[in-house]
Structure 1
Amino acid sequence: MKKLSLMAMLAIALVITSCTGKKTDNNAQDADTTVVAVEDAAAPASYYGTYEGTLPCADCSGIKIVLTLNDDTTYDLTQEYLEKEPAYDENGTYTVEDGLVTLITPSSGEKTYYRILDGKLAFTPDSTGTMVEGEMAENYILTKK
């Protein structure tokens, strides 16, 4: 749906700029601006992909996480509590707003939050998106594979 809307906006922009009849530098500059805006609109796709890492755990040696953010706003999550339970899988939907990914568990409505970084996701304890700080901060990072 996004691609269709993006293509429609691009087509309208091309029709408008081609129908003006003026061949000035300003029109060329306007056309360039339109292209840049379209390219910027596609930028969020950079967070799609698979992320891995091991988060701290109070009563085990860590929680191995494999999280895939799909381009259709669904996610696949595998969590393995090391030296405890077998891994379990979860699928659901996610939203992204202001660089904060919100995973929504379909069965319970529970939400989990990650801040988008450059090629990484940082687990955040709540919806404010405030990242964990201090010595343990690096332990809350998932790296894109």
Structure 2
Amino acid sequence: MKPILLISIGLLIAGCTTSQHDNHPATTDSVNQNAALQPAELTPVGDTSQNALDWNGTYQGTIPCASCEGIATTVQLNRDNSFTMSSQYLGEDDKVFSSEGKLFWLGRGNIIRLGEGESQPLFLVGENQLFMLDRQGNRITGALAEHYRLEKVQP
């Protein structure tokens, strides 16, 4: 009778102790501070721009420019997570700058980075529009904020 009692007490004590990981389960809110700018390793749960919007297509707009009339910008996003981007500095010359590559969904599936490397352009994906973000992944504010938006022109 005593061995059964000792085994029962041992199991009870073992069942009551937990590791530090069990006391603090990982949540999406407790991820490091730079999670919004890191490529998403897991498919986000719930509705995000990535899984709920018809985000692929062509977007156009004129981004403000300090030394020219504006930067005419076109971004083509493809379902295979590839992109092409072209920019022309208005009022300077007719040269068009182009880039293409892979787009990366960041953080919780609402932000994309066009290309590899942290210096590549960031956009918040909205319904039929892209909002250009600053290098830290924040919406641009101020008097010209509304001009940092590309509108979808083709699905």
TM bucket, shorter chain? 0.5 to 0.7
Q: 1:92 aligns with which of 78, 94, 101?
A: 101
Deviation per residue, 1:59-93 (Å, 9 max, x gap):
00000000001111110111001111311221111
Query: 5 Å matches for 1:123-134?
Result: 123-126=132-135, 128-134=136-142
Shift of 1:115: 0.7
- Structure 1: state its 5+ residue gaps: 1-39
Please identify which structure carries the higher helix content. 1
Q: Does 1:51 align with 2:59?
A: yes
Q: Distance in 1 between matches of 2:113 and 2:69?
A: 25
Matched-pair identity in %? 26
Q: Distance in 2 between matches of 1:45 and 1:116?
A: 9
Q: 2:85 aligns with which of 63, 77, 98?
A: 77
Deviation per residue, 1:102-130 (Å, 9 max, x gap):
0116xx7741100112211111111x421
CA contact (8 A) 1:49 1:70 kept: yes
- Residue identity matched to 1:104: G
Match of 1:116 in 2: 125
CA contact (8 A) 1:45 1:71 kept: no
Q: Secondary structure at the match of 1:47?
A: coil
Q: Normalising to structure 1: TM-score of the pair?
A: 0.64
- Structure 2: state its 5+ residue gaps: 1-46
Q: Secondary structure at the match of 2:54?
A: helix
Q: Distance in 1 between matches of 2:83 and 2:92?
A: 24
Q: Normalising to structure 2: TM-score of the pair?
A: 0.60
CA RMSD of aligned residues (A): 2.3
Match of 2:7 in 1: none
Match of 2:147 in 1: 139
Q: Distance in 1 between matches of 2:132 and 2:53?
A: 19
**Number of residues paired by the alignment?**
104
Q: Distance in 2 between matches of 1:66 and 1:92?
A: 14
**Which aligned segments of 4 or more residues in structure 1 are displaced greater than 2 angstroms?**
40-45
Tell me which of the two structures has the higher relative contact order, counting C-alpha pairs closer than 8 angstroms and 6 or more residues apart.
Answer: 2
